[in-house]
Amino acid sequence: MKKEVKFSLVFRDMWQSAGKYVPRVDQLMKVAPAIIEMGCFARVETNGGGFEQVNLLFGENPNNAVRQWTKPFHEAGIQTHMLDRALNGLRMSPVPADVRKLFYKVKKTQGTDITRTFCGLNDIRNIAPSIEYAKAAGMISQCALSITHSPIHTVEYYVNMAKQLIDLGADEICIKDMAGIGRPVSLGKIVAGIKAIKDIPIQYHSHAGPGFNMASILEVCEAGCDYVDVGMEPLSWGTGHADVISVQAMLKDAGFQVPEINMEAYMKVRSLVQEFMDDFLGLYISPKNRLMNSLLIGPGLPGGMMGSLMADLETNLESINKYKAKRNMKFMTQDELLIKLFNEVAYVWPRVGYPPLVTPFSQYVKNLALMNVMQMEKGKERWGMIADDIWDMLLGKAGQLPGELAPEIKEKAEKEGRKFFTGNPQDNYPDALDKFRVLMKDKGWDMGQDDEELFEYAMHPAQYEAYKSGKAKQDFLEDVEKRRMEKKAGTAPTEPQTLTVDVNGTAYRVTVAYGDVKPETSQAAAAPVGEGKDILSPLEGKFFLTKTAQETPLKVGDKVNEGDVICYVEAMKTYNAIRAEFGGTITAICANPGDAVSEDDVLMKIG
């Protein structure tokens, strides 16, 4: 009989690899006993990454959710683990050191045992502080190798990275095959190489999409892997993870010691997951995410990102087709857009230095590729719109890129006066907790048990403010109701439709909106309108005057110069800076922070 292999249910990632949201806390508490009853899990992924933000988005306190969610697993002797993005903490952008340090203290007291830390660039400098902070908080420090497939990312590269992390004090190593494109034999060699350095616990995480991962699971287990991340129906396979039933059967046949599965409990969990999908979560899951797709081998996009990508793609397609409708051009289909996007990712990725395609850099590469596609489809140049967070990656402010930037990117940076950075990335982001303490005191907000509310505000300023004001919950409930109505209507059009109308022998393309337009949704009408030139939104997303609590929002009457950042449109998890196209005085702000805006909506007027 071969060694024992244990299973970890990645419940949080199951949901976010399929769609946009995770269950509410009442739903989490309903399913936890059935997961425990299955009797086959040594670990459960309970929170981390997008978990915090999506709780805030639909108006729940994530601190309460984590405390309640981890408790039953602790009582059952099951370890809980979470995802940690190193320099980025729980968000898409870098986090000050004191906020990172508080992060581990908060999560340990809330009941999280293991922190799985990864850097999207595999920069050891970004992971090293997390090892120190996690161990100081009494957590197990599991450090991840972000797996991708490129000329740079070899077996030797990853074994050497693991050795450095072990030397720094990592308790465990995770082989984070986030796109499922790690080649099985190479992954086995990586695990064997690490075990030759030290017999340290190794956990393998992969997504099913490209089709490699069952073979990969077998190879890493043969090489000595200790834990395997699994999913279960109806959220396994496709952009998700291999199902525990299949993995267990395969490993049992191969002679490994594996736990038995209480199938009655499995069916309970399966039924509850479907119940949650029928409630509202399924409204945010594309049916295509259930499919395996070998095309994913090329762009190497991770399963977790593909879930949200398919949900976002409809919006991007609508934007492109609005442009085409105005010019009597042939409409693009979603499949055509997807292929163009995959091809553009393959073009962009080597030119931006081969960053491993994992959060946030997978989103950055995908967003950059998608922006390029949208710009080029509209007759504009490639690289025309690069968000500030993406520039930080390109310039080295988020860490060292594995490869070289293409000359065209360097030339663009030089033309725009942008400076490259070669120092420690954390030095760019000074301590900030004292500023947030002052802000919370001024607002009359409680710091929370173990400073957990202070942490939440400092980690997610814009989302936390929307949560506290009630706007997040209101927007979420309105969106759910809208989606339910669309689903109920079936094929009836609920979004604006472009039609061709013949008037006296002349064809006109017109856009027709269905249903009532509520006055309060017309942002321009609700805001003071002054005289001046319009500043239009270049894309669809959410409007914000500031990106962080440290910025001072502009107001009517402020003077701006050409090129100044005047606001942001948050789209696809990235804040896109909107710059003044000319100097003058702001005469109107035509949207409120957090409002949804469409492409070509007026954001401001400058006179």
SS3 annotation, 16-62: HHHCCCCCCHHHHHHHHHHHHHCCCEEEEEEEECHHHHHHHHCCCCH
**Residue bearing tokens 């894309």:** 539
Two tokens, residue 69: 């969610």
Two tokens, residue 505: 């022998």
* 547-560 per-position pLDDT tens digit: 876 678 899 999 99
| Model pTM score | 0.80
Nearest to 207 by CA among 61, 309, 112: 309
- What's the pLDDT score for residue 423? 93
- Using a 10 angstrom Cβ sphere, with 0-12 exposed, 13-18 middle and 19 or more buried, the burial of residue 239 is buried
**Residue bearing tokens 């401001």:** 604
Number of residues that this document lists for the chain: 607
DSSP label of 253 = H
Exposure class string for 27-52: b at 16+ Cβ within 10 A, else e: bbeebbebbbebebbbbbbbbbbbbb
- What's the pLDDT score for residue 528? 43
| pLDDT higher than 50, residue 527 | no
Lowest mean pLDDT among 70-79, 259-268, 516-525: 516-525
Q: State the SS3 of 111-174.
A: CCCEEEECCCCCCHHHHHHHHHHHHHCCCEEEEEEECCCCCCCCHHHHHHHHHHHHHCCCCEEE
Element at 204 (helix H, strand E): strand 202-206
Two tokens, residue 429: 């982001």
Q: Which residue has the higher pLDDT, 8 or 299?
A: 8
Q: What is the C-alpha to C-alpha distance for residues 122 and 445, in angstroms, rounded to an integer? A: 37
Q: What is the C-alpha to C-alpha distance for residues 283 and 307, in angstroms, rounded to an integer? A: 12
- What's the pLDDT score for residue 501? 43
**Residue bearing tokens 């762009």:** 299
Residue 8 pLDDT grade (very low, low, confident, very high; cuts 50, 70, 90): very high
Instruction: List domains and CATH numbers for the chain.
Output: 1-469 (3.20.20.70), 522-606 (2.40.50.100)
Mean pLDDT of 335-360: 86
Q: What is the C-alpha to C-alpha distance for residues 557 and 189, in angstroms, rounded to an integer? A: 63
Mean pLDDT of 50-57: 71
* 314-325 per-position pLDDT tens digit: 777 777 787 788
Q: What is the DSSP secondary-structure string of 538-575?
A: SSSEEEES-SSTTSPPP-TT-EE-TT-EEEEEEETTEE
**Cα–Cα distances in angstroms (integers) from residue 516 to residues 494, 513, 599, in the given order:** 11, 9, 21
| pLDDT higher than 50, residue 511 | no
